[in-house]
Structure 1
Amino acid sequence: MTEKKAELLMIFIILLRSTSFVFSRLGLNSLGMFNILALRYLIAFFLVAAVVPGFRKKVTLRTVKKSAAVSVVYFLVMTCEMLSIRSIGASATCFLENMSIVIVPFMTAFLLRRLPTAFSVAGSMIALSGVAMISLRDGLSGLNTGIVWSFLAAFLYAVYITMNAKICDEHDGLEIGILLNGFLGVFGLMASFLFESPRLPATSLEWICILGLGILCSALGLTLQPVAQSYMPAYRAGILNAITPVSAAIQNYLILGESLGMTGMAGSALIMVSVLLPKICSLPAFSGTRRLIPLPKS
């Protein structure tokens, strides 16, 4: 595959992934959030495991254990994301959660015991300004638990990215992705039995939401994304991933009628700048290096 084809595939995958916020928001109108997670990831697991030849024969116990560990963190990310979507809507959640890309450099700097770069600090300050504009677009009344859940989701996703980067260096990324779907489905089913009354979709809209999340956002996105990223440099993959909140915001406006307002849109633009800043600064012209980045969430 050429780099150009990989970029086109990456854009296609990102557009698929960005629909997850719309499907989740629609599904939450009638289904429990853990019920949605269970159905979504179980469908993705069985579908991908069935089409990937020799998957069950290649998986080792060590890979299963590593996948289980990272799945716990990712399940917490998705729980916080669903709580945030239910509280403040899909558009605000998507932009606020995207701050995880700004958090990662600080987390890496802490683990390596070195000061973060000036670009990381500048990006974080810009991002915080954008978050403040989104959070306070309706005045102090805009501050609610949904904002807290978004922040927590962003932080936990940064933890997930850090863990996933190390695990994927030691294990096959495709195997990790398939097992991740399976564990998330099991965790969601257990939580649904504990806190909800799990059921299968009963209406056409519910089926559309679940199948869209399971097939488009999880099965295709999680499987094809590492393939596309392996054919392009880090800075290019990072910049392309910044399409996610923009695409999600457009879909949320057209389908759900959600609008961030002028203040929210300005804040969203600042968050986009903060996300793109470290990626632009990692261009060969600035750093002279090209490295693969961790897998974003699908």
Structure 2
Amino acid sequence: MKRAQANGLLLVAALIWGTAFVAQQTGMRDVGPFTFTGARFLFGAVMVAPLAVLELRRLGRRGTFLDARDLLACALLGAVLFLGAALQQIGIMSTTVSNAGFLTALYVPLVPIAGALLLRERSHWSVWPASLGCVAGTYLLGGGSLAALSVGDLWVIASALFWAAHVMLVGRVAARKGASVTVAMLQFLVVGGLGMAVGFGTEEVSSGALERALPSIAYAGILSVGVGFTLQVVAQRHTPAADAAIVLSCETLFAALAGRFVLGETLTAEQMAGGLLIFACVLAVQILPLWRERRTVSVEAG
């Protein structure tokens, strides 16, 4: 696969993920946030299952198998992912798709900050000004006052903490046995099971409501979780990480565009400036460290 083709697949993934915010909002006209989250991730698990089976067979031929410790790690990883997805879903009920897309992206600078503060990992200098920029962008998204942020905005910001924790943990869990697709499927099953359990226990669920919400659930589950994840895994084998970072970050802009053209949402000039500031900071945190590494390699090669 050529680099341009791989970047095209990543752009499709970003488009799916960005527009899935619309499905996440419209689907809750008929079902609650926990039921929607559970059903969505169960759809995703089914989509990824065939790839996981192939991966397990390949690992088995090498004598590598998952043990109880691996399964426990996947369960804990799924619990963290469930909290991130559920809090985001609750937030989407009372905020705009545009705000949800931009605020969810706050997890990107949170990852290196948490690594530096909790794990004593060295972070690129760009993390700190980018973090301040994200705070300023959030301030602008709130209309010039953090106090003016909606309850939904606050739920989405809280979800970003768990998205960041998930990003920090998922690589470590997947690297244990090299079973990244299987880890993804198992964590999707955990999220799906927890979501449906909490949903049936706390929300009114009927077969008619699930049927009406099915198109939104299918889009968010089959396309966003299943297809989007698969495209990312395939494409990132054929394109540099810097390219992937740029293209996948377009998810936030696609969310804003989808909110505008599908749901008729509008942003003030101040809110748009805040969203674009967050987007710029997210790009900076991902690209600047890679750019520095590429320069270092070029100098050493020369």
Asked if these proteins are the same fold (TM beyond 0.5), I'd say yes
Q: Report the counterpart of residue 81 of structure 2 in structure 1.
A: 74
Q: Is residue 92–residue 260 contact of structure 1 (8 Å, CA) maintained in 2?
A: no
Give CA-to-partner distance per residue, 1:13-68, whole Å, 9 cap, x none. 11111122000110111211111112111122223324654467656234322211
Give the unaligned 5+ runs of structure 2: 298-302
Corresponding position: 1:41 with 2:41: yes
Q: Shift of the alpha carbon at 1:176?
A: 1.1
Q: Is residue 177–residue 223 contact of structure 1 (8 Å, CA) maintained in 2?
A: no
Equivalent position SS for 2:31: coil
One-letter amino acid of the counterpart of residue 226, structure 1 = V
Corresponding position: 1:177 with 2:166: no
Q: Is residue 41–residue 185 contact of structure 1 (8 Å, CA) maintained in 2?
A: yes
Q: Is residue 23–residue 216 contact of structure 2 (8 Å, CA) maintained in 1?
A: yes
One-letter amino acid of the counterpart of residue 151, structure 1 = I
Q: Report the counterpart of residue 234 of structure 2 in structure 1.
A: 227
Q: Report the counterpart of residue 9 of structure 1 in structure 2.
A: 9
One-letter amino acid of the counterpart of residue 148, structure 1 = L
How is 1:1-298 mapped onto 2 (pairs within 5 angstroms)? 1-50=1-50, 53-54=53-54, 60-61=66-67, 62-113=69-120, 116-136=123-143, 142-171=148-177, 172-200=179-207, 202=209, 206-284=213-291, 287-288=294-295
Q: Shift of the alpha carbon at 1:3?
A: 2.4
Q: Shift of the alpha carbon at 1:71?
A: 0.6
Q: Is residue 30–residue 210 contact of structure 2 (8 Å, CA) maintained in 1?
A: no
Q: Is residue 282–residue 289 contact of structure 1 (8 Å, CA) maintained in 2?
A: no
Q: Shift of the alpha carbon at 1:264?
A: 0.7
Q: Distance in 2 between matches of 1:147 and 1:203?
A: 26
Q: Report the counterpart of residue 296 of structure 1 in structure 2.
A: none
One-letter amino acid of the counterpart of residue 150, structure 2 = N
| Moved beyond 4 Å, runs of 4+ | 50-59, 201-205
Give TM-score, length-normalised by structure 2: 0.87
Cα distance change, pair 33–114 in 1 and its aligned pair in 2 (3 A): closer
Which structure's residues are more often helix, by fraction?
2
Give CA-to-partner distance per residue, 1:60-88, whole Å, 9 cap, x none. 23432221111100100011101111111
Equivalent position SS for 2:126: helix
Q: Supply the RMSD in Å over aligned alpha carbons.
A: 2.3
- In the comparison of the two structures, how many residue pairs are matched? 289
Give CA-to-partner distance per residue, 1:137-177, whole Å, 9 cap, x none. 5x677333223212211111111100012112223111111
Q: Which moved more, 1:143-152 or 1:239-248?
A: 143-152
Q: Shift of the alpha carbon at 1:105?
A: 1.2
Q: Shift of the alpha carbon at 1:236?
A: 1.7
Q: Shift of the alpha carbon at 1:10?
A: 1.0
One-letter amino acid of the counterpart of residue 211, structure 1 = A
Give CA-to-partner distance per residue, 1:237-292, whole Å, 9 cap, x none. 111121001011101111111112211101011101111112331244565479xx
Question: Once the two structures are aligned, what percentage of the paired residues are identical?
Answer: 26
Q: Is residue 31–residue 204 contact of structure 2 (8 Å, CA) maintained in 1?
A: no
Give TM-score, length-normalised by structure 1: 0.88
Give the unaligned 5+ runs of structure 1: 291-298
Q: Distance in 2 between matches of 1:42 and 1:169?
A: 24
Q: Shift of the alpha carbon at 1:221?
A: 1.4
Cα distance change, pair 52–244 in 1 and its aligned pair in 2 (3 A): same
Cα distance change, pair 141–162 in 1 and its aligned pair in 2 (3 A): closer
